[in-house]
Amino acid sequence: MKEKILNRLSELIETNQLNNEDLVQIIEHVGSYLNLETISEYAKKNNLSYNGVKKYRKIIKLFNVKFVIDNQ
């Protein structure tokens, strides 16, 4: 399934059926499903320390920025 989605997305981009604004909307939409937040945003929102979040939460690096994924 993953391969199908990636291939379709590539096809739409390469045929200019998706523009930059469309791609940003896709990133935002998927990010909302992941509850994607920077470590500092997540720490403030949940009244936690930055280091505590970094140590005990699922962290990913995306676009050279570290994010917390919290979609449980």
Same domain? 67 vs 39: yes
- 72, 61 in Cβ contact below 8 A? no
How many domains does the chain divide into?
Answer: 2
pLDDT (tens place) for every residue of the chain, 72 residues total: 899 999 999 999 999 999 999 999 999 999 999 999 999 999 999 999 999 999 999 999 999 999 999 887
- Pair 34, 8: CB distance under 8 Å: no
Supply the Cα-derived Rg of the chain in whole angstroms: 15
Determine the pLDDT at residue 16. Answer: 96
Whole-model pTM: value is 0.74
Q: Which of 68, 16, 11, 64 has its CA nearest to residue 39?
A: 68
Residues 30 and 42 in one domain: no
Q: Find the domain containing 46 and state its range.
A: 35-72
Q: Is the same domain home to 28 and 3?
A: yes
Closest by CA position to 25, among listed 48, 9, 1, 49? 9
Q: Give the model's pLDDT for residue 26.
A: 95
> Are both 29 and 50 inside the same structural domain?
no
